[in-house]
Amino acid sequence: MKKILKRVFTVLGALIVLFILFVVVKFYVLLPKSRPAPNMKAPNTPKTVERGRYLVHHVTGCVGCHSKIDDSKPGDFYVPGTEGQGRDFGTIPNYPVHIISRNITPDKETGIGNWTDGEIVRAMREGVSRDGSTLFPQMPYLTYRDTLSDDDALAVVAYLRTLKPIHNEPGRTQVNFPVSMFIRGAPQPLVNSPPPPPPATDKLARGKWLLRVCSCNDCHDSVDDHMQKIPGKEFAGGFKFPLPGDKYAIAPNITSDKATGIGAYTDDDIKRVIEEGKGKDGRDLFVMPWSYYRGMTQEDREALYFALRQVPPIGNLVPPSKTK
């Protein structure tokens, strides 16, 4: 009997060692998947820089996520003079992550001044930093890999090169185990053709592109207790964003459901959300970065509104925010 038990424990021990070795190889040797940074060069032309400025400030919202924010007023307004220096988002409630966005100014020590254009584009669309480390997926590289064409990605780079260099080390995102292990599987090399340019003449297609590239899903999709998106509840809302003090904002349901979404909103109601930061009931909207999106061209705003109207209705009653 002792020999049998000894043999069983020996086999179990060997299996445990093999399993640990498998996990180490899979997540810490084979991941993250990456490729050498592509050889790309952003055109330094006024047209390209202006396109990048438009995307960064009014579509992708890069400056908002990478600047210090004035929490005293709604709209995610950034503090002038901090453009691109990085931002501390704090911890996510009930989730082992402290998110800090990086310095994306041209500072050579703490920013991206020494990065190649290809390294910046790879980080934006493939989720791999210059040193090969994994970027936390709050940086929406999984979205940009499908929405930012080469021209648009390089336009963003061209504009970022014009920002004032700010010497600021904001720190790095802290991710506890085992989430730190699993996110290593998120980056995916862009090995096929790059995304096409955004639709130019099809209003609905352009609106859907804007919904994606503006990362509306990231805030308005319903998620479970493990921060996993719930299938069938796209844009149905419910995520709770902590605010200073005991306040909080809850992402609303923006599907076309008339009872719990925006189906009963008039066109003017929707315009006020984006252009004035006011809910249907007149309340100020915190966290919602309407301060960026209101700067879209009228054509893009109308395409966005049109696409919102087409989002399938999903009944999901979201509790009110507490912002006062």
The answer to whether position 31 is within a domain reads: no
Cβ contacts of residue 275 below 8 Å, gap of 6+? 290, 294, 301
The pLDDT of residue 25: 60
The answer to whether position 231 is within a domain reads: yes
Specify whether 180 is located in the same domain as 293.
no
Specify whether 137 is located in the same domain as 111.
yes
Specify whether 87 is located in the same domain as 218.
no
The pLDDT of residue 204: 97
The pLDDT of residue 27: 60
The answer to whether position 35 is within a domain reads: no
Specify whether 282 is located in the same domain as 154.
no
Cβ contacts of residue 159 below 8 Å, gap of 6+? 49, 51, 52, 53, 55, 56
The answer to whether position 321 is within a domain reads: no
Specify whether 232 is located in the same domain as 165.
no
The answer to whether position 299 is within a domain reads: yes
Residue 229's DSSP bridge partners are 223
Is residue 288 scored above 70 in pLDDT?
Answer: yes
The answer to whether position 246 is within a domain reads: yes
Dist CA 109 CA 169 (whole Å): 9
Please say whether the dihedral angle defined by the alpha carbons of residues 293, 297, 298 and 303, taken in this order, is positive or negative.
negative
Tens digits of per-residue pLDDT, 78-119? 999 999 999 999 887 777 889 999 999 999 999 999 999 999
Tens digits of per-residue pLDDT, 22-36? 666 656 666 688 889
Specify whether 81 is located in the same domain as 120.
yes
Dist CA 240 CA 93 (whole Å): 9
Dist CA 158 CA 47 (whole Å): 10
Distances (CA, A) of 29 to 20, 136, 217, 243: 13, 18, 31, 39
Domain count, the chain: 2
Q: Which structural domain, as residue segments, surrounds residue 291?
A: 203-309
Distance from the Cα of residue 50 to its chain's centroid:
22
CATH of the domain at 243: 1.10.760
Domain boundary among 157, 185, 213: 185
User: Which DSSP symbol is given to 175?
Assistant: E
Dist CA 318 CA 233 (whole Å): 12
